[in-house]
Amino acid sequence: MEEIIFHWKLKLSAGGIYREILPNPENLISKALYTLDIGQNDLTVGYFDNMTTKQVEAYVPDLMERISSAIQTVYNLGGRYFWVHNTAPLGCLPYALAFRPDLAAAEKDAAGCSVELNTGAQFFNARLNETVARLRETLPGAALTYVDVYAAKYRLISQARKLGFGDPLRVCCGYGGGEYNFDRDIRCGDKMEVNGTSVLAGKPCEDPSRSVSWDGVHFTEAANKFVFDQIVDGALSDPPVPLRRACQAKGQ
């Protein structure tokens, strides 16, 4: 954060177009909403190193300390409003299922997701919720909103067809066909050699608006729109504050 502000001020001091288009950071730090979307990469780094869920859970407390420190740093610089997303159902993401076929082939839930991988995500989210609650006590001037993105994404995945989407575990921009249309070595946009000719792998599906997974890692625009619509009104937030009020002081 300090480095961002430093470069921001440096551009302002340079004058010209920067002075015209960049607001003074000192006037915005305390008014901005700091959105944190955390967990997916932190968990996969362990799972992709063939760790068990217990081993992944063992380093989650350290992650919570790092998250707390980051929020504290922003708070010390003047930030007061935080919208903290929990992490997605990892066991429903094609790339995680492809990188850990042992867990993908083990116990699955009704949506076809890995129970074990989702257990790791749920553990992370529980600790994150506790961490946000503690920060409310130690940072009394801050307004921290915990947003249950996991619930929104799992609803989409588990009810995809009812909601007008196709197979939620099948990648739109993928390669290789199969159950997930995902190849861990050939990703969306990668080039490969086919019969001596270089071709672009991962041609998008016919109708991305009916797909949940874009490239096995990220959601499609349509899926993200669904998730946003689920969380924007505060129904999945603690406290249940809509986005439009997330930058208001507590009690307002």
pTM of the model: 0.88
How many Cα atoms sit within 13 Å of 114 on the Cβ side?
A: 26
Classify domain 32-244 at the CATH class level. alpha beta
Comparing CA positions, the residue from 1, 148, 150 lying closest to residue 71 is 1
Comparing CA positions, the residue from 233, 250, 227 lying closest to residue 86 is 227
CA 168 → CA 37, 93, 101, 165, distances in Å?
21, 9, 18, 7
**CATH 3.40.50.1110 segments of the chain:** 32-244
Per-residue pLDDT of the chain (252 residues; tens, 9 = 90+): 555 555 555 555 666 665 555 556 666 788 889 999 999 999 999 999 999 999 999 999 999 999 999 999 999 988 999 999 999 999 999 999 999 999 999 999 999 999 999 999 999 999 999 999 999 999 989 999 999 999 999 999 999 999 999 999 999 999 888 899 998 888 898 887 777 777 777 778 999 999 999 999 999 999 999 999 999 999 999 999 999 998 876 544
Encoded amino acid at 206, one letter: E
Element containing residue 123 per DSSP (H, E): helix 115-138
